[in-house]
Chain A
């Protein structure tokens, strides 16, 4: 029987803190914690000292003070008598508005460009490559400024629309007017409006809520219809025809709602020196929206292309061997696999859009950075509080978006054995 050599059972020595891997990580962390705490204390101490030297305190009380400045674009009621907190809210809504619009349009542009870049058509594929490379390699700020300059310098003034021989005319059956002041588009009006719902902070149009509710209901009904069709197919092997039922489910309630609410479009109309009626989209919004769309669209195009190329060719061939038609191959085999690759980077592009809306500063769009982070800070002299609040807001938006991404990732994760 072999005897084990004696293991030296010394007690704990101080040098083991550095040389023994069991203790080293603890030592390192303690040192690190020390440095971290000292650094944090140093920063806070300096801040307190500096604030005292300037005779300022740290409080968010300025938010309840009358703001005293106007905001030219607002989604909710606001005047210069409103508080800074309300100005912050207006800015936040403006940020979210342009981010939302840009996310949708960038997705459309990006998916189209990505698919077309893979097209067998040589010319189209080259054209899309040029688009993607040009927009990915030139800073967004230049695009924003360029589009803003095009809008303000090259578009006709409202006066050009007037008179018998006007030099400019409105587009799409006199419904859209593109001027150097901004774009006028038809405005949705309801002659039998349901009024507004007062939420305390802002008003919500009940008409809008009704439309959203009806569309949601249609989606649910359609889903039920498709489920029934699938059950019948599983039972009998014959899939009932559903497409006209789907169309009916989506269209009929909306048509009914249109007449019930008396929905009609209020066209912009030239009156005096400017257009009246219609919804007025400022140049700053248009420039920011359009630039974010084409810029991020180029990135999304690359994401989509990579996602489609990531599905191996064998999958398509196997599906074809099973006798599926090309449309079915795309929707049942390729897309579900490609989406798993496409969606996560796509959501981080949405995150980028949201953060890039802060470039609104370049064109004077009143987003959260211009209201809270700009005028409010300048008027109240609360740089520290204002910047902290603004960073926190962006951080919350970003974390919410990444949370959505994590939920999605978990739901589509390959269920491995």
Chain B
């Protein structure tokens, strides 16, 4: 068959044809445009609509942004410079930069929050990136006390006395564990530390202070403000809400009826009410719940409320992670003979937390955004300051520039956090999909 074919066919090509250039509609930008923007009638319509939207936005905001004035001392001066044209007056940011950053913190002490901020970056670096030397973790553990002392000032002996509580507890643990079993020693250590903190720390620190004065100028909480305040509340809330959230999630999954009931009640209550009501509770009602005559710092109250609020959400996120783990993991941990805490610490939590990273970071982002709500109880966060700035005759009537600036700052923080969570997810990914 095949050889007859060879004889009957008059011409058989024995060389390849040179390759033709692809049609112009199938290469480069044209093809990309056809595929991505104009592939169907609906797509063309969508593209036109999208281009229209972008053009409309640029037409309206573009000139305003392009004509920005960065150097002026008041809105009136800005308008004079603009001479009737529309334009942004970002001079307000320049004029009130320090206020937006630090609130009414004494200007000669700005180095303290700046130093605290720089040290914070050093302290969280070893937590964020595991390639850094592990010894830095010790600095991270010490950082809260350093930051407290730098920001609020006062006697160095106070944070040292608080650290002393840990030393007292550790000493008690060592001493007791020679005498009794480890569990009793642990209980004794905790009790010793609590006794130290509640009754002994304050007198000891004031005694030491009067003996050797180690203090810097104290700054009252009402002078705190701006992004410094947001960051203080946000970072403290983030750092405290994660462990608390883990405890609540474990409590909710616990076999112990009472602990489970308390955890569920707490979580559902906190999740059921808006943060504003909790903040108002902190500012209005807390005096009712404390022994008569006591009052404590408003920023501390806010931090506690924000932490409790975020912890309830965190607990639900982590509970999701715990539930998503296959049952076999729990059984394997039991089969290895690990006790509850070891099983949790070594097997369950590392996996459950890894699964819940996106949710955890979302909670962090939500918490950081929620720090703006403190304006309602009279704290001067950036939004509170924007109201204060507008109350000044120089800047009366300025809205957009301040909102844009504050919004962009929050965007940078929150977007940074979400990108980091994606990096973390990639780094911790161990499956082979």
Contact = CB atoms under 8 A, between A and B. Distances in A.
Interface in A175-206: none
A384 B288 CA distance: 8
Contact of A358 (B255, B277, B287): B277
Interface in B255-277: 255-259, 262, 268-269, 271-277
A145 interface: yes
B116 to A, nearest CB: 23
B259 A46 contact: no
A37 to B, nearest CB: 11
A286 B280 CA distance: 25
Interface stretch (A132-140, A269-277, A311-319): A132-140
A361 B376 contact: yes
Nearest to B375: A141
A46 B289 contact: yes
Contact of B53 (A127, A134, A153, A356): A127
Contact of A137 (B259, B403, B414): B414
A80 B375 CA distance: 29
A141 B383 contact: yes
Interface in A25-42: 25, 28-29, 32-33, 36
A18 B180 CA distance: 12
A134 B46 CA distance: 21
Contacts of B372: 139, 141-142
A36 B403 contact: no
Interface stretch (B36-44, B191-199, B237-245): B36-44
B272 A399 contact: yes
Given A359-B276, A398-B271, A139 B292 contact: no
A387 B274 contact: no
A153 B400 CA distance: 10
A32 B268 contact: no
A394 B272 contact: yes
Contacts of B399: 146, 149, 153
B318 interface: no
A387 B285 contact: yes
Given A141-B373, A149-B403, A47 B273 contact: no
A252 interface: no
Nearest to B413: A137
Nearest to B230: A139
B411 interface: yes
Contact of B276 (A49, A361, A383, A384): A361
A121 interface: yes
Given A139-B410, A149-B400, A399-B268, A355 B50 contact: no
A391 interface: yes
A373 interface: yes
A4 interface: no
Interface residues of B, number: 59
A244 interface: no
Given A127-B50, A137-B414, A139-B370, A146 B292 contact: no
Given A19-B181, A32-B258, A137 B281 contact: no
Interface in A136-190: 136-142, 145-146, 149, 153
B406 to A, nearest CB: 6
A119 B46 CA distance: 10
A137 B277 contact: no
A369 interface: yes
Contacts of B46: 116, 119, 121, 123-124
Nearest to A358: B274
Contact of B411 (A119, A134, A390): A134
Nearest to B43: A121
B274 A394 contact: yes
Given A47-B289, A387-B280, A399-B268, A19 B183 contact: yes
B25 interface: no
Contact of A133 (B43, B271, B275, B415): B415
A369 B372 CA distance: 18
B63 interface: no
Contacts of B275: 355
B348 to A, nearest CB: 18
Interface string B24-56: 000000000001110100010011011101100
B365 A356 contact: no
Q: Which of A18, A32, A142, A373 has the most CB of B within 10 A?
A: A142
Contact of B256 (A28, A120, A373, A384): A28
Nearest to A137: B414
Contact of B285 (A33, A145, A153, A383): A383
B256 A25 contact: yes
B291 interface: yes
A122 interface: yes
B221 interface: no
A353 to B, nearest CB: 11
A104 interface: no
A395 B268 CA distance: 8
B79 interface: no
Contacts of B406: 142
A18 B184 contact: yes
A127 B292 CA distance: 57
Interface in B365-379: 365, 369-370, 372-373, 375-376
4 closest Cβ pairs, A-B complex: A398-B272, A137-B414, A122-B36, A139-B369
Given A123-B46, A139-B410, 11 more contacts: A25-B255, A53-B292, A116-B46, A120-B39, A121-B39, A123-B50, A138-B407, A142-B407, A356-B274, A373-B280, A390-B277
Interface of A: 15, 18-19, 25, 28-29, 32-33, 36, 43, 46-47, 49-51, 53, 116, 119-124, 127, 133-134, 136-142, 145-146, 149, 153, 355-356, 358-359, 361-362, 369, 373, 377, 383-384, 387, 390-391, 394-395, 398-399
Interface of B: 35-37, 39, 43, 46-47, 49-51, 53-54, 181, 183-184, 255-259, 262, 268-269, 271-277, 280-281, 284-285, 287-292, 365, 369-370, 372-373, 375-376, 383, 397, 399-400, 403, 406-407, 410-411, 414-415, 418
22 contacts: A18-B181, A28-B259, A29-B258, A33-B258, A36-B258, A50-B288, A119-B46, A121-B50, A123-B50, A137-B418, A138-B369, A138-B410, A138-B414, A145-B383, A146-B407, A149-B399, A377-B284, A383-B284, A390-B277, A391-B277, A394-B272, A394-B274
